[in-house]
Homo-oligomer: A and B are copies of this chain.
Amino acid sequence: MAHPGDVSALASLIDAGELRARDIVAFIGKTEGNGGVNDFTRGYFTQSLMALLARHTGEPAEALAARIPCVLSGGTEGVLSPHFVVFARHGDAPAQPVDTVNGSLAIGTAFTDPLPAEAVGRWAQVESVAAAVRAAMNDAGLTDPREIEFVQVKCPCITSARVQDAAARGQTVVTTDANRSMALSRAAGAFGIALALGELPASATDADLLADFAVACNRASVSSGVEVTCNEVIVLGNSTRWSGPLRIAHAPMRDALDLPAVGAALDRLGIAARPQVDDADRDRIAAVLVKCEPDRRGQIRGARHTMLDDTDINAQRHIRGAVGALVAGVMGDGRLFVSGGAEHQGPDGGGLVAVIAAGRA
């Protein structure tokens, strides 16, 4: 990507016949905005992408946007590089497992109905996301939650316009603060994933959102934005009913300095980092997905950090640049999806890393 309106690389692949536009089921990418409320690079890229697919599929851009999750994280701080990952699939699931040993990368997607503002950050959203995760698992033919390695959810938040709309219907919202609503929406998304994967403690309630950080899901990655009105879900796992060269593995990160976690995820794919992935293995890696956050307590391993008190640089920009570089150092590559806002997603103050890679030839 030369800029956020540049979809020429994908256009070339389609023109060359290496990829069929109709096989595309999801996008995950990084654009070079600030990653905040006023980051319009995500909208610009989505508009450019859907216009390209519309030309190739004949479907209207709006219809494409309503069925293909396009999860973009703004902010390519430091060594991070603007890029996007295209997920495509074709063929039907076989009646019998094709690979009884390991399985291959499986992907399923789902969209919920529009979520009204009064549901955001409350249990109704938890259940809505859980249902969508189950629907995406079904779409992928994944039946066992243990097969799932990574669930990406994109959730709506509460804007002033939505507050007024809710009020007009006699409803109240959990908060009128847009930033807090985004955090609560991410929290509810993480709880919803945990619920669908059978990990959520039965005792968990609304009150635990952004409160009890011991409740966390190591396979949940959630972003929230003004641009969506429903929950969009991408489920990634490994399944013996899928074929293809790719597999996925994740590992939790206990804090922002958890370098060993990156090696742990690679290890599960048979890739060594001593300390960096070598060139041959690097070619096998198709995508790296990272979720992270600046530690709420203002310290990392006992040393004070200054991310949360910085009036000049948003804390999420700080942490993406830092954890992104740590992971990029292991990969030897800055083309990583690194997203901030990891409430209840991985260990408190840390997050998670997932890698998609091809098997050794």
Which chain A residues (287-309) contact chain B, with CB distance < 8 Å? Answer: 297-298, 300-301, 303-307, 309
Name A's interface SS: loop
List CB contacts (< 8 Å) of A311-338 with chain B: 311-314, 317-319, 321-326, 328-330, 332-335
Is the CB–CB distance between B259 and A330 below 8 Å? yes
- Against B, the Cβ 8 Å flags (1 = close, 0 = not) of A24-60 are 0000000011111111110110011001000000000
Contacts of A178 in B (CB 8 A): 309
Stretch of A78-86, A136-144, A194-202 at the chain-chain interface: A78-86
Judge if A260 is at the interface, Cβ distance under 8 Å. yes
Report whether A81 and B48 are in contact in the complex, using a CB–CB cutoff of 8 Å. Answer: no
Question: How far in angstroms is the closest Cβ of chain B from A11?
Answer: 15
What residue in chain B is nearest A35 (Cβ atoms)? Answer: B311
What is the size, in residues, of chain A's interface with B at 8 Å between Cβ atoms? 71
A4 within 8 A of B: yes
Instruction: Tell whether A359 is near chain B: CB-to-CB under 8 Å.
Output: no
Give the shortest distance, in Å, between A55 (CB) and chain B (any CB): 12
A82 to chain B: which residues have CB within 8 Å?
Answer: 304, 306
Residues on A facing B (Cβ under 8 Å): 1-5, 32-41, 43-44, 47-48, 51, 76-83, 160, 178, 256-260, 263, 273-276, 297-298, 300-301, 303-307, 309-314, 317-319, 321-326, 328-330, 332-335
